[in-house]
Amino acid sequence: MRTKIKQLLHSAKSTYLEQKVYVCGWIKTARAQKNFTFLEINDGSCFANLQIICDSALPFYDKMIVDFTTGASIAVEGIVKESPGQKQSIEIHASAIRVLGTCDSATYPLQKKQHSPEFLRSIAHLRPRTNTQGAVIRVRNTLAFATHEFFQSQGFVYVQTPIITGSDCEGGGAMFQVTTLDMDNPPRLPNGKVDATKDFFAKKTYLTVSGQLNGETLACALSDIYTFGPTFRAENSNTARHLAEFWMIEPEMAFADLKDNMSLAERYIKFLVETTLNRCTEDLKFFDKYIEPGLLERLTKIAHNASFEHVTYTEAISILKKASKAFTFPVEWGVDLQSEHERYLTEDHFKKPVIVTDYPAQIKAFYMRGNEDGKTVAAMDVLVPKIGELIGGSQREERLSVLEGKIESLGFKKEDYSWYLELRKYGSVPHAGFGAGFERLVQFITGIENIRDVNSFPRFPGHAEF
């Protein structure tokens, strides 16, 4: 049975010392000496490599050594020995080695040098073998598992909502349409427009931008639910903060208001940070050294220090207007906060995560509950250093007449939201929830600047390879 490198290196030294083991991995480095060869292999289970000592007396050594190149895959049987070197505590003295897959060293694109993120994106099928991407994927795994741990521990029910939808949750209109019609010769109405009734679902349908609306229906029966799945937005945005396909965590709580929502979001982020600090120590040390110096200190403060700062949107605008820093985007009441504004609040002014509440109604989605002032809604954004907005949420509008008015004012068809409106007709309750972009969470934890580098196969305008 194969033993993973993580098991060998993270167990007590005495567990495997002088024991025979079977390991597999890809060669990271090979150093040939006169009578033996040092190999370092990695199987992806942890950040560290495992050293293999190959004696020239091994059967077929002379034939195998030519295949000991970076990128080749091997299987090794050998005895675990205490290592005299300082870089590792144990090593394997091989008794048998088999080359599973050779690697053409002349054309292998992952050479022993630093590669740019742009180049690595062009070889997305190989970049998981790099130190950075391997660490990102392991952190992403930990965050996903911790997400389920957190919400399950809070009594939430994990639900799955549709990916194909007939409604626009956000009201932005930039959605990917789903169709089975022949695009070269679609059926048309007498006025020349495409006849959507002839499509698979007999209406226009799209890839979802959020599972929230369906999540609300489930929360209004099960109390506390959460979704965790892919979402899609068709904005032609080529920034370091946006993808066309990304994952969202969306909890929804019945019998809850904005304060409950803020409390849940803060506890969730702190749990993720603390869990990753405990479980991904080697990976985070790498990010701290090579990606964002000071990362570990920043994360430790968030996990263990005082509560997040709370300000209203109006207060935030006042702070930004008084700032000595010159902003690229204007700061006026009624404008949406930009990344530079959000980062100023978290990095320069408060120097910690900030929850901004009570945004102007005109810049927020139709489903957010209107405040008594008639101008703002019970919305919240959780802003964090280095990223800006990490979580967006609100108390939902539970009043039927108010929600109908909002839908009509936006030009939406009430019949498209009939089921959503009926939640307010049959046993309506105060409820709240938020959406957390999973890729931004990974950025926040790792210090990776570009969102395209925390998704193994990023989808963005003009790019859908691999």
pLDDT above 80: residue 280: yes
CA nearest 255: which of 123, 427, 88?
427
Which residues, 6 or more positions from 328, have their beta carbon under 8 angstroms from its beta carbon? 338, 340
Query: Which tokens hold the place of 85?
Result: 């070197």
Give the pLDDT confidence score for residue 172 in this predicted structure: 55
The DSSP secondary structure of 421-442, one letter per residue, reads HHTTTSS---EEEEEEEHHHHH
pTM above 0.85, yes or no: yes
CA nearest 283: which of 271, 272, 295?
295
pLDDT > 90 in the chain, percent:
87
Whole-number Cα distances in Å, 248 to 79, 175, 229, 454? 45, 16, 6, 14
Residues paired with 249 in a beta bridge: 228, 436
CA nearest 333: which of 375, 394, 303, 285?
375
Q: What is the pLDDT of residues 297-348, one digit of tens each?
A: 999 999 998 789 999 999 999 999 999 999 999 999 999 999 999 999 999 9
Query: Which tokens hold the place of 230?
Result: 């892919």
pLDDT tier, 275 (very low <50, low <70, confident <90, very high otherwise): very high
Residue identified by tokens 């965050």 is 143
Cβ-in-10-Å burial (0-12, 13-18, 19+) of 185 comes to exposed
Query: Which tokens hold the place of 8?
Result: 């060998």
Residue identified by tokens 């639910």 is 225
pLDDT above 80: residue 167: no
pLDDT above 90: residue 16: yes
Q: What is the pLDDT of residues 201-239, one digit of tens each?
A: 999 999 999 999 999 999 999 999 999 999 999 998 888
pLDDT tier, 112 (very low <50, low <70, confident <90, very high otherwise): confident
Cα–Cα distance for residue pair 8/48, rounded to 1 Å: 11
Give the pLDDT confidence score for residue 168 in this predicted structure: 64
Give the pLDDT confidence score for residue 225 in this predicted structure: 98
